[in-house]
Amino acid sequence: MSETDPAARAFEDLCAEMTVLRRSVEALPQAWRDNRPPDYTEDLARVVKAMNAVGVRMQAIEDTPTLKMTPQAYGQGIRQAGLSASQEVQAAFQRAVGEVREERQALASIIGQANARRDQWFWLGFIGIVAFLFGVGIAPPVFGWMTWKHFDQRVASFIVGGTDRWESGMAMMRDARSENWNSLMWEDRLVHDNQVKIRDCRIAATQAGQPKPCVIIIKPDAK
């Protein structure tokens, strides 16, 4: 058989096409796994079940003897049986159409919910990033610039229960370090009792430019 034999060439072309087709078929499972769509098995199963029910009803409608009658016989049947058969067929058809419409809306709702969840995750991530940037870079300067002066001190005073920040601070110092507080109060009484003498000695020392002795009075501790 020569190399230019049309039958041989056609056979070779057929073999090449079969090879390509076989490779394509072998690649289908991997392509399906790589491009597998979201699993809507449960939702689609419910839709398929409803569609099967609709199909059964439609088959029942198609098997209705009334639909198999000729126009003349149909007209005669209407005149004989009245409008009951027509109304029954119309009601069954309307129910079937309604169920198809409901299942179509359910399928659209499933797709819409999937898109909504995707958008929700996007906005949650966006808001989280904005909140993080605001808390780290913007909030401290803004709160420092705002006129919330001594806000933390006011909160502490409110928690302690003092009438003002001064009394609340005294109560916290007294409870935290009682010995240091007693020493501080003793020094305060000493300065208060000798306020005039200490003032005069300070003025004299300032004018002389050197330390000056000062006689003060120390009262006994109250019992």
CB 126 within 8 A of CB 59: no
Residue in 178, 216, 189, 186 with CA at minimum distance from that of residue 200: 216
CB 110 within 8 A of CB 40: yes
Domain that holds residue 105: 11-145
pLDDT at 1 over 50: no
CA distances from 138 to 50, 127, 128 (A): 55, 15, 14
Residue in 58, 55, 48 with CA at minimum distance from that of residue 103: 48
- Examine residue 176 and state whether it is found in any structural domain, yes or no: no
Q: Give the chain's largest Cα–Cα span.
A: 139
- Examine residue 203 and state whether it is found in any structural domain, yes or no: no
CB 117 within 8 A of CB 68: no
pLDDT digits (tens, 9 = 90+) for 164-209: 777 777 788 888 888 888 888 888 888 888 888 888 888 888 888 8
Alpha carbon distance 217, 56 (integer Å): 113
Count structural domains, the chain: 1
Residue in 221, 218, 212 with CA at minimum distance from that of residue 194: 218
Alpha carbon distance 173, 181 (integer Å): 7
CB 192 within 8 A of CB 218: no
- Examine residue 159 and state whether it is found in any structural domain, yes or no: no
Q: What is the pLDDT of residue 137?
A: 58
- Examine residue 111 and state whether it is found in any structural domain, yes or no: yes
Amino acid (1-letter code) at residue 102:
E
Q: What is the pTM of this model?
A: 0.29
Alpha carbon distance 117, 105 (integer Å): 18
- Examine residue 211 and state whether it is found in any structural domain, yes or no: no
Contacts of 188 (CB under 8 A, 6+ apart): none
CB 80 within 8 A of CB 48: no
- Examine residue 67 and state whether it is found in any structural domain, yes or no: yes
Taking the CA atoms of 16, 17, 20 and 21 in sequence, report the sign of the dihedral they define. negative
The pair of structure tokens assigned to 36 is 């597998």
- Examine residue 4 and state whether it is found in any structural domain, yes or no: no
- Examine residue 54 and state whether it is found in any structural domain, yes or no: yes
Find the range with the poorest average confidence among 41-50, 109-118, 131-140, 199-208. Answer: 131-140
Alpha carbon distance 29, 73 (integer Å): 55
Q: What is the CA radius of gyration of the chain?
A: 48
Q: How many CA atoms lie within 13 A of 180 on its CB side?
A: 8
pLDDT digits (tens, 9 = 90+) for 75-115: 666 667 666 656 676 777 677 777 777 877 777 777 777 67
Q: What is the pLDDT of residue 138?
A: 61
